[in-house]
Amino acid sequence: MDSVVVLIAAPGSGAITPDVVAVLRDFGGDEARWLKTGDALEFDAPAQLPELKRVLDNYPLDCVVVPKHNRRKRLLIADMDSTMIDQECIDELGVVAGVGDRIKDITMRAMHGALDFQEAILERVALLKGLDVSMIEMLLKERISLASGGKALVATMKAHGAFTALVSGGFSAFTGPVAAALDFDEHHANTLLSENGKLTGQLAMPILGKEAKVESLKRICAARGLASEDVLAVGDGANDIPMLLAAGLGVALHA
């Protein structure tokens, strides 16, 4: 077969039960290979794949069809907020600035594509004017947590010779430490401007948005002699969609 089916359940859930395995056998999946018992397995795609996917819709798991050709990717390009970390940094900044609810509302609408990304980020950053820059370091220490599996993903990609880039519509004050903690090869994000230790409510131009994420993907590919088919891209919001579509394998993570 030209493709494999990968079943993915929530980590630790054990949702891929013997009943699910029995369903696979009915569709010729006798050679299923466990990637993590109870949580992930793969098998050669059967001829009756549409019917199998309809049956699997009744179970709490994702069913992903992946081509066998060029399956091992050579570039990982990942979003940061709610992807490689558990939080949205601008929302956390809003909380300590006393405008958390206003910023979270704008963030939610922007992530769902209801607002233009550039307009939304400028509006939110303006609400942070006057916030002490030291709050960023406090948030990194006390409120920002690395997403489950992220460190293993980066380490696995690099162990197989892949290049890794953290590309965020967020802020470089956060991507720098996060990239270092996860061992990304490079990182790119927007820069919060400050004066006398206070945020000015403005960003350095140009703003890194969805187009810039695609441009980063293309630039890194060109520099390293890679094709878009060699790329694994991971993100969660509307501004990540062009990047996910441009990659050979795009993963919408808790999108």
The 10s digit of each residue's pLDDT in 98-156 is 999 999 999 888 888 888 889 999 999 999 999 999 999 999 999 999 999 999 999 99
Q: Locate tokens 């993590």: which residue?
A: 36
H or E stretch including 154? helix 150-159
pLDDT tens digits for range 70-96? 999 999 999 999 999 999 999 999 999
DSSP-derived pairing of the beta strands 75-78 and 231-235: parallel
pLDDT tens digits for range 151-189? 999 999 999 999 999 999 999 999 999 999 999 999 999
Handedness of CA 183, 186, 192, 197 (dihedral sign): positive
236 has catalytic annotation: no
CB atoms within 10 A of CB 225: 8
Q: CA 239 to CA 79: how far, in whole Å?
A: 10
Q: pLDDT at residue 29 above 90?
A: no
> What is the reported pLDDT for 31?
86
Q: How far is C-alpha 81 from the chain's CA centre?
A: 8
Q: Tokens in use for 96?
A: 């300590």
DSSP-derived pairing of the beta strands 186-190 and 231-235: unpaired
79 has catalytic annotation: yes
**pLDDT range class, residue 255, cuts 50, 70, 90:** confident
> What is the reported pLDDT for 175?
98
pTM: 0.91
> What is the reported pLDDT for 250?
97
Q: pLDDT at residue 28 above 80?
A: yes
Q: CA 133 to CA 200: how far, in whole Å?
A: 10
> What is the reported pLDDT for 230?
98
For residue 70, give the 3-state DSSP assignment.
Answer: coil
**Angle at CA 147, nearest 5°, toward 183 and 122?**
90
pLDDT tens digits for range 214-232? 999 999 999 999 999 999 9
Which of the following is catalytic: 39, 81, 91, 230?
81
Q: CA 39 to CA 255: how far, in whole Å?
A: 20
> What is the reported pLDDT for 30?
75
Q: Enter the DSSP assignment of 249.
A: E
Q: Which residue has the higher pLDDT, 37 or 255?
A: 37
Q: Tokens in use for 120?
A: 């939304």
Which of the following is catalytic: 39, 79, 230, 240?
79
Mean pLDDT, the chain, integer:
95
CB-based contacts of 156, cutoff 8 Å, min separation 6:
none
Q: CA 223 to CA 165: how far, in whole Å?
A: 13
Instruction: Quote the percentage of the chain above a pLDDT of 90.
Output: 88
> What is the reported pLDDT for 1?
63
214 CB-contact burial (10 Å; exposed 0-12 / middle 13-18 / buried 19+): buried
